[in-house]
Structure formats: C-alpha cells, structure tokens
Chain A
C-alpha cells in the first residue's frame, strides 16, 4: 500500500515537472543564455553583456522601456479609480437580480477576443468613425477629427481591456464586508470619507492588490492595443521585442529585451506584494 502510494505520487508529479521544466524554466534559462551572447561572425558567438549594454545606452530602447513601465502603472491606477465605485455599487448598493445582472454584464467583454474590442474602438475613434461624425453633427467640429493614434486613445483601450480583471476581485472582496461594520463606522461618528478610508479600503485591499497586479501585467505585456490604437510615438516595449525577433531576426537583442520586461514585471509585482505584506500564493491562488 505504502509503495503504491509512492508510485501514484511520482505519476502525479511527472506531468507537473515536465510542464514547468520543459515549457517554463528551461526555455527561460535558454532565453537568458541567448541574451548573454554576441555574434562575432556566422555561427560564432561569444559570451558578453553587449546586448544589455546596447539596450541600456540606446536612447530609443531605454525611453520605450520606461515609457511602457510608467504608462502601465498609469493605466493600472486609472483602471482602479474607475472600477472601484462600480465594484462598490455592484457589491453593496445593488440588490438581488440587479446585482447578478450587473455582475454578468461586467464579464461579457472578457468572453470577447481582445482583437474584437480593439477593433470596436477603431471603428468608434477613427477619422471616419462614429465619434468624429457625432462631433461634426453636433457642430463641435467642422471637419473629420482623427482621434486614433494618440497616447490618450491607447490609454482608453488599455483601461477597457483590463477593466474586468479588477472589477471581479473587487466585487468579491467587497461583498464579504458585512454591512453592519459600515453602519458601525457611521454610528461611531465617521463621515462617508473616513468610513471609506478606514473600513472599506482596508477590507478591500486583497482585491485591490490582486486586481492591480493582473491589470499591470496585462498592460505591460499588451501588444495589440498599443499597435492598433497608439501612435507612431507610442512605441510599446512588446513591439520592440516583436520587431527584433520577427522583423530583424536579431534574437540576441530580442531575448535581452524579453528578459528586461520579465525583470521589470517581477520587480513591480514583488514591490506591490511587499508594500502590502502579501504573498503571491494568497493573491493568485
């Protein structure tokens, strides 16, 4: 019996180890190794840090890197600010049927491909688009207005794409907050603002953290939205990775970019967890 249990254990362990080993760990180590070499001539490589040196000294690369980081943080903050009141409304203000319906409505965009969502924004915002026509019809503009290809448009798209991933965890944590706790806060003389700051937000913190992490990751790793909605100046770091890999076939530099993106996302996720004293296991699992 003891022996049989051990065999079962190894049978169950094998797929996990194969999956993580062959598709996650070894590929990333290989990517790191490739990023650490330099092409001397055809088929001859040397180990060096020159790819990272290139990435950190070329102003375009460096600027894109920081811009992507800052814009992703900004997208996360905006998403949180927009979503919080809505999540609160669904969790605490709406009751019964309405609550269920609103929650389901929030889920719909998730079931629609990101490509379709981006396409929708293009139809709305382009020069011949709906918003432009509407502005002309109202009389606010006397010629077609191009609303695409700016940072603001890209932000609208990024926020839209990741909205759901923050609404759901927020609703879940807010629902678990007992109404009587809020009432007690008011009874003890708290104002709406102090109740929000001292009772509701601390209680919702787990949802806020896990939502923010997911939104940040999705924005940072997004390729479609910046490519389709962003302008010529709003190059995204993922676009540079794609360019190096597919367009220029410079895998060494591309791998270095990939690794920089990975480090950036790990550092920010780790920082967010540290700041709030939570672990990845609690937040994701």
Chain B
C-alpha cells in the first residue's frame, strides 16, 4: 500500500475518495459558519436572504454588527488580556522548567517530570473545580483568621488566568525543552572561555537560540487560552471572556452575529498560526 507497490485502479479511487470525503467532513462545519455570517436574515440558516456586511459593520437594530456590539467587544478585550497574561506567565515558567530538566540531575527528577506532565491528563473541568475549591478554602480561611475578604480569590479573572496557566505551562515546557535539547552546549562553554559569566552566556547565546521556540510557545499559549472553555467555565466571574460570552448567547438562540464573530476568530487564529509557521521556517 505504498505508491511503489502496484494497486488496482478501483482501490486507489476508493481510497482517494475516502480521503476527499474526510476533508469535506473537516471543512463543512467551518465553511457553513463562515458563509452564514453574510446572510441578510435574523437566523444563521436557510433560506438565504441575500448578502450583507451588516453582521460586521451594521449600526442599527436588529442587525448590529460585531464592531458596534459593546458586549462582544468587551469580552474580546477580556479574552485578549487573559491570554496575554497566560502566555507570558506560562512561557516564563516553561523556560525555567526546560533549563531545570535539561541542565540538572537531581533526586526525584523523573518523578517531577511525570508530575509536570500530569496537567495534560487531568480533564479541564476537574482542574477548574479543584482550583475553585482551593481558592475558596483560602478565602474562607483568611476571613476566619483576619476578617479580610480577598475578592481576588473569588471566581474572576485572576482564577481564570491561574486555571489556564496551570495546564498551558506543561505545553510551553514541552515546546521549549524540545528546542533546548538540540542546543550545542559547547557554544555556551566557548562564551565562558571568552570571559563571559554564566548569566551573560545564557542571555547572549542560549536565549537567542531558544527564541523561535519561545515565540512559538507564546502564540500557542495565547491561542489555547483564547479558546479555552472548560477550565474557564468553572472559574469565571462577572467579566466573561469571549468563549463564555458566545456560549451564553448561543444558549439563547443564535443570530448571524455569532457567525461573524466566529469568522473573525478563525481568520485571526489562522493568521497567527501562519505567522508562526513562517517564522519557524526561517528560524
């Protein structure tokens, strides 16, 4: 079943057809979401009432476009803020983790490594509730102890950031470790021989080498945070990030406004992904 082994014509046709069907299945839901963003009707469904840009730029009811819908814009801002915090935090910790696992031999290293992988196999909802439970234990303890009510420990943006950070860090660590493993240690030693101290050697030699992986990890972390639903759902307070805001609207019934938001999301994230691919090819 490789091109050098002759296969019957019908087998090849059936196989090719199957693969084509698969890609149709992959593309279908995304295509309909995109197409119905332009439907001039209150519902993202047939009949097709004509083409309109209103769901993007419309200013009047009933067709208020994305760019004039306050609630959606605010939640995009919230999501971007959360995603930025998560990306910076998780890549910082991911980098220190990568150095730790790559450069040091210590007792319990294997155990810590497995522990580090664990967040990937814990369901997002469970991660969310465990952090919810713990932070509220802390908040209640603080109240009993000092009569202080620390709002930051109640459901809200801080918890959302910490919740997403708790598993995205694992991914950042894996991405950066993979690159660090390919690093030629003798380059660093050369810098040391030439009189640089350790920190300077790492800053001028190792970190620039790691930069493509770190930037890639920032983008992946940003996207994962932006799209996260499960963990966020359990930890969200009054400021809803975009996925939660869209979910609430979707439950009430959908208008093509949601299609327009989705289309912009798709464009935004594919653009980011493309940038990373181009960047990594150069790096």
| Interface residues of A, Cβ cutoff 8 Å to B | 4, 8-9, 11-13, 15-16, 19-20, 23-28, 30-31, 34, 82, 85-86, 88-89, 92-93, 95, 102, 104-109, 111-117, 119-124, 126, 128-130, 133, 160, 163, 179, 182-183, 186, 192, 195-196, 200, 213, 217, 220-224, 228, 238, 241-242, 245-246, 251, 254-255, 258, 261-262, 265-266, 269, 280-281, 284-285
Contact = CB atoms under 8 A, between A and B. Distances in A.
A8 B99 CA distance: 10
A121 B44 CA distance: 12
B78 interface: no
A265 B123 CA distance: 8
Interface stretch (B21-29, B69-77, B145-153, B203-211): B21-29
A112 B265 contact: yes
A36 B241 CA distance: 33
A105 B26 CA distance: 9
Nearest to A13: B100
Contacts of B258: 119
8 contacts: A15-B92, A16-B93, A31-B129, A31-B134, A120-B30, A129-B45, A228-B250, A261-B126
Interface string B130-144: 111110010000000
B10 interface: no
Q: How large is the interface on B (under 10, 10 to 19, 20 to 34, 35 or more residues)?
A: 35 or more
A12 B96 contact: yes
A82 B22 CA distance: 8
A242 B15 contact: no
B250 A255 contact: no
Contacts of B158: none
Contacts of B115: 20, 24-25
Interface of B: 1-5, 15, 18-19, 22-23, 25-33, 36, 43-46, 92-93, 96-97, 99-100, 103-104, 106, 110, 112-127, 129-134, 137, 162-163, 165-166, 169, 174, 198, 223, 226-227, 229-230, 233-234, 243, 246-247, 250, 254, 258-259, 262, 265-266, 269-270, 272-273, 277
Contact of A224 (B106, B247, B277): B247
Q: Which residue among A34, A196, A200, A213 has the maximum number of chain B CB atoms within 10 Å of its CB? A: A34
Given A120-B32, A258-B130, A284 B198 contact: no
Given A24-B118, A93-B15, A115-B229, A186 B5 contact: yes
A113 B227 contact: yes
Given A115-B250, A258-B126, A261-B126, 15 more contacts: A28-B130, A30-B137, A93-B3, A113-B269, A114-B229, A116-B265, A119-B33, A128-B45, A195-B1, A245-B129, A258-B125, A265-B122, A266-B121, A280-B121, A281-B114
Given A93-B15, A115-B243, A23 B162 contact: yes
A117 B113 CA distance: 34
B247 A238 contact: no
Contacts of A241: 125-126, 129
A281 B126 contact: no
